[in-house]
Amino acid sequence: MELQITWFVLWGVLWGVYFMLDGFVLGVGILHNFLGRNEAEKRVLINTVGPVWDGNEVWLITAGGATFAAFPGTYALMFSYLYTPLLLLLFALIIRGVSFEFRGKMPGKWWKKGWDSAILLGSFLPALLFGVAFGNIFSGLPMDGAGYHGSFLSLLNPYGLLTGLLFLLLFVEHGALYISVKTVGDLRSRAHLLADSLWPFLLLAAAAFLVYTRYATKLYDNFFNLPFLLALPLAAVVALASIRLFSAQGKLLHAFAASSLTILLVVAIGVTGLFPNLIPSTLDPLSSLTIYNTSSSPYTLKIMTVVALVFVPVVIAYKIWVYRVFRGVVTAEEVLQDEQAY
């Protein structure tokens, strides 16, 4: 039982870290066409995420792998019930990755415009679909012993769409702050202004999400049963407010850190509220997928724990090293020098 809880916590941590890291990449991809007014600025925006975006995907693979290995029953049924949206999500992520790499392969104007559109599509869809997917997981799926009784369109319910909008705004705000940290001059100023302009809409979406969650899900039951857990939503509110406070003071790196913390806390609230469920059932509570009825054997979980204790610190150390190496700002002059050297 302790190992099942341990892997549930690790499962939540992996998703939270993935959304924190890939969230700003998705945000940059969405803003790429809007903030980049010319080819040089677009190249700058792509170069801000170029050294790190593929490494961030490791956390998505790890989160999916942890679900498969620790809770294979949930993994199997989730990919069966949600096959269409997960396939769309996979295609969108592939399109984004290919777009980053292929955009600069040819000099043609229409070639670049085509891949610019693909970057936008491959960033917007995952940001929205991740939110819709987790919104439906939070509220539960219509499933019982006979299987899943919903459809792709039924996932586009008001709560799922609201959660999708929240994730979208979180990632765009996160991306705008990242751009303001990693660039200089007019591009930095426009990104900073956009982050400040988006923040009130993010606040409204977050407030609506917290209120609607009370009626559309049972996430708050754990918080009411254990009141000390209410520190999580309180901390999320403080982190969200800190984004605006630090941004107003011109402390953009602090604002980006507050944005990162906000994303982590939003995921923590959802995961804490779900426990011990992984996917609740709206038709029959006994058909809910939990950490107990879909987990691997204790022996498998023990082996996985040893592997995680060895390799997760290695991955974390590697990511810290990468971000330290590429911690500097990106300028148009550097992009031009790279092109000439190439």
Helix (H), strand (E), coil (C) string for 182-198: HCCHHHHHHHHHHHHHH
- Across the range 281-299, mean pLDDT stands at 92
Condensed to tens digits (0 to 9), the pLDDT of residues 256-275 reads 999 999 999 999 999 999 99
- pLDDT score at 101: 86
Spatial separation of the C-alpha atoms in residues 155 and 152, rounded to whole Å: 5
Residues 52, 326 contacting (CB under 8 angstroms): yes
Q: Is this structure's pTM higher than 0.85?
A: yes
Residues 150, 157 contacting (CB under 8 angstroms): no
How many domains does the chain fold into? 1
Q: Is the pLDDT of residue 90 over 70?
A: yes
Domain carrying residue 111: 2-341
Over pLDDT 90: what percentage of the chain? 70
Lowest-confidence region among 80-84, 126-130, 164-168, 235-239 = 80-84
pLDDT band per the 50, 70, 90 thresholds, residue 342: very low
Sign of CA dihedral 63, 65, 71, 75: positive
- Across the range 31-42, mean pLDDT stands at 89
Q: Which two tokens stand for residue 15?
A: 């998703």
Condensed to tens digits (0 to 9), the pLDDT of residues 121-159 reads 999 999 999 999 999 999 999 998 888 998 888 999 999
Q: Which two tokens stand for residue 61?
A: 């693979």
